[in-house]
Amino acid sequence: MTTPTIELKPSSNPLSDAEREAILASPGFGRHFTDHMVTIKWTEGRGWHDAELVPYAPLSIDPANMTLHYAQTIFEGMKAYRQPDGTVATFRPEANAERFQASARRMAMPELPTELFIEACDALIKQDSAWVPSSGEASLYLRPFMFATEVGLGVRPANEFLFMVIASPAGAYFAGGVKPVSVWLSEEYVRAVKGGTGAAKTGGNYAASLVAQAQAAAHGCDQVVWLDAVEHRWIEEMGGMNLYFVYGDRIVTPELTGSLLPGITRDSLLTIARDLGYTAEEGRISTEDWKRDNENGTLTEVFACGTAAVITPVGSVKSDKASWTQGDGEPGEVTMKLRKALLDLQTGHRADTHGWMHPL
């Protein structure tokens, strides 16, 4: 089957410069969207077709659309950064394309070729490049996603899908900038089990997490930390971020057990940390290890990482059984060094020695 080329049908009525600038002055996260979107259809027997870049607009959905009932839907998150020379670049888009394919396989959906995934993102960024913030760590967040468009109530893989890319200017994910977050250890609810969908970026994982997120909020915490579903002891990840534990100059992230999302930031930090002279490992950390090693001072820092959240320190921990301040509750030195190195790389202020940046 041939790969379609994206037909450009730009808006004749984009937002004015003044309106856009007002949004870019304080974009928040995921609240405003650019003037265009990409849509590519997939139909059984025909493959990918009708690739278009069109004005951003609502979709019309049949009430019996299969996604609304059975949630055959996946998504990605990646960012485009303004570079010092004014050009724009994305960070490891092929890694997002490959994870999108892995999510598609798990959810019995068609795989979008890497080139088409990247071409779709590039086309939208180029068209709406005025929306890429011009400085600092602000960025244009890309949200590629795919969902079933077949109409019907039979439970089986759909025979029609729509792939789309939308974009949203992003300031800090957590209002208030680099402020340590408080976390709730979820011992009642679990996010995923081995053999389930935890390693896929699919909507249902997020829907299933919301009750625990509400529980965290009720306990005065910002985020949920998920534990393994069998022993309820091993740290897995957070709602939209992976975790790192800092033992002096050694950093450890929970190993990929099949039930947590293989984060691209997580993966990048294993390499960046080694570049900076740290030891970086994947391992197993239990809730008891966390509490004990914090108390005896060997666990010096804990941070969360992800595309939207970049790197965010963890300042305090709470569960039904215990609560403690992580270290002195302030952002740690290693956390902030890694954060700067990652952002410097993404914004073109640090040499891209691993070929991770994709210039447009």
CB of 27 to ligand PLP, least distance (A): 18
How far is Cα 359 from Cα 166, in angstroms, rounded to an integer? 19
User: Binders of ligand COI: how many residues, by CB under 6 A?
Assistant: 5
Compute the radius of gyration of the chain from its Cα atoms: 21
Q: Quick check: 265 binds ligand PLP (CB under 6 A)?
A: yes
Cα(176)–Cα(240) distance, rounded to whole angstroms? 18
Q: How many residues in total does the chain contain? A: 360
| Of positions 180, 254, 306, 331, contacts ligand COI by CB under 6 A | 306
- What are the residue ranges of helices labelled H in 178-241? 203-218
Tell me if 308 contacts ligand COI by CB under 6 A. Answer: yes
260 binds ligand COI (CB under 6 A): no
Site string for ligand PLP, 294-333 (x = CB under 6 A): ------------xx--------------------------
* Residue 103 interaction partner, one of ligand COI, ligand PLP, none, beta carbon < 5-8 Å per kind: none
Torsions phi, psi for 177 (to 5 deg):
75, -150
Of the two residues 76 and 150, which places its CB atom closer to ligand COI in the complex?
76
Stretch that binds ligand COI, among 17-25, 41-49, 120-128, 301-309 (CB under 6 A): 301-309
For helices 93-106 and 114-127, give the axis angle rounded to 10 degrees.
Answer: 130
Shortest approach of ligand COI to residue 204 CB, angstroms? 13
**Among positions 237, 287, 299, 346, the unique one binding ligand PLP when judged by CB under 6 A:** 237
Is residue 77 near ligand COI by the rule CB under 6 A? yes
Stretch near ligand COI under the rule CB under 6 A, chosen from 7-15, 84-92, 130-138, 306-314? 306-314
Comparison of 264 and 299: residue with beta carbon closer to ligand PLP: 264
Task: Give residue 58's identity as a one-letter amino acid code.
Answer: P
Whichever of 39 and 139 has its CB closer to ligand COI, that residue is 139
Whether 78 contacts 106, CB under 8 Å: no
The contacts of residue 178 (CB under 8 Å, 6+ apart) are 172, 312, 313, 331, 336, 339
Residue 173: how many other CB atoms lie within 10 Å: 18
Say whether residue 203 binds ligand COI (CB under 6 A): no
Site for ligand COI in 224-253 (CB under 6 A): 240
The reply to whether 242 sits near ligand PLP by the rule CB under 6 A is yes
The Cα-based distances of 258 to 170, 236, 262, 345 in angstroms read 30, 10, 9, 29
Q: What angle do CA 124, 136, 78 make, to 5 degrees?
A: 35
93 binds ligand PLP (CB under 6 A): no
Kind of pairing between the strands at 47-55 and 36-43 = antiparallel
Amino acid at 166: I
Q: Which residues bind ligand PLP (CB under 6 A)?
A: 77, 237, 240-242, 261, 263-266, 306-307
Residues that bind ligand COI in the complex, under the rule CB under 6 A: 77, 240, 306-308
